[in-house]
Copies of this chain bind each other. A is one copy, B any other.
Amino acid sequence: MSWKNELTQYMELINKHLDQVMNMEKEENYILIDSMKYSLFAGGKRLRPVLALASYQLFANDLNNILPYACGLEMIHTYSLIHDDLPAMDNDDYRRGKLTNHKVFGEGIAVLAGDGLLNHSFELMLGHALTQPQMEPYVRSIYEIAKAAGIQGMIGGQTVDLQSENVKVSAETLNYIHLKKTAALIIASLKIGAIIGNGNKEDINNMELIGKNLGLAFQIQDDILDIIGDQSKLGKDVGSDQEKNKSTYPSMYGLDFSINKVKELTNSIYDTLNKYGEKAIFLKELCNYLVDREY
């Protein structure tokens, strides 16, 4: 099977599971559920859950064990986008070519939809962990995700990012933002694959290392595309970083340096993945695709 077919299969599995867990009885709060679903099914790339599945398959086979956590990761990613798009934050009207959540449902519901997705992610994962006779790796994975999403992870990165608009930041601060805002959740996605798949300590460390390199490469590529990308493929405005005076790798180090940095990080990822032989082909292709994408 080609890796693209495998990717399609993974995405279908993830979308089906998300659909199932969001298919709840409609009570008086239906507008909240509609608003959560609107953003959850707005055409996201499912990067984090796919990474979790791909990492897991290096160590184990039964995907049912990892799906609730993969979907939990996607819910957390989606909530962070909804809150990030709010007028008080990035103030974006469009995402992936569609109106942002608050443009459709209003700011109040958008705040609650984000809260709802974050909270529901934990509800989903905890509900699964409780059914497992060997609870430890599952609870440990939820804890890893919580830390990665938290105040010393993604939310911390968003805070520093928000405070850095229209400010020339240091190289350290830029790295802090990339590592926390983007990489943290990608690292967690890869790590929980090893934890739930019963990988050993070295495996978990390997997945962490790949996540760090991939997270940074992915962010730099994002910022490169904001300069040289095709708006119709990206589904969002090109040049918005410059407009907002955002510090990025290209703005700090130039375009050529940034493109080379992505290549260097990709090679590091390959080096680590080579330890896993043929099993790692899908993850290799996926990483290559992510840092070489045009959208």
Contact = CB atoms under 8 A, between A and B. Distances in A.
Contacts of A158: 112
A153 to B, nearest CB: 9
B173 A28 contact: yes
Number of copies: 2
A19 interface: no
A150 B176 contact: no
Interface residues of A, number: 56
Contact of A162 (B112, B123, B135, B155): B112
A184 to B, nearest CB: 12
B89 A108 contact: yes
A38 to B, nearest CB: 14
Given A127-B143, A130-B139, A146-B126, A115 B155 contact: yes
Given A111-B111, A123-B147, A146-B126, A136 B139 contact: no
Given A115-B118, A119-B146, 13 more contacts: A27-B156, A29-B152, A31-B163, A32-B151, A36-B151, A83-B115, A88-B110, A112-B162, A116-B151, A119-B150, A120-B150, A123-B146, A130-B143
Interface of A: 24, 27-29, 31-33, 36, 79, 83, 86-89, 106-112, 114-116, 118-120, 122-123, 126-127, 129-130, 135-136, 139-140, 142-143, 146-147, 149-152, 155-160, 162-163, 173, 176, 180
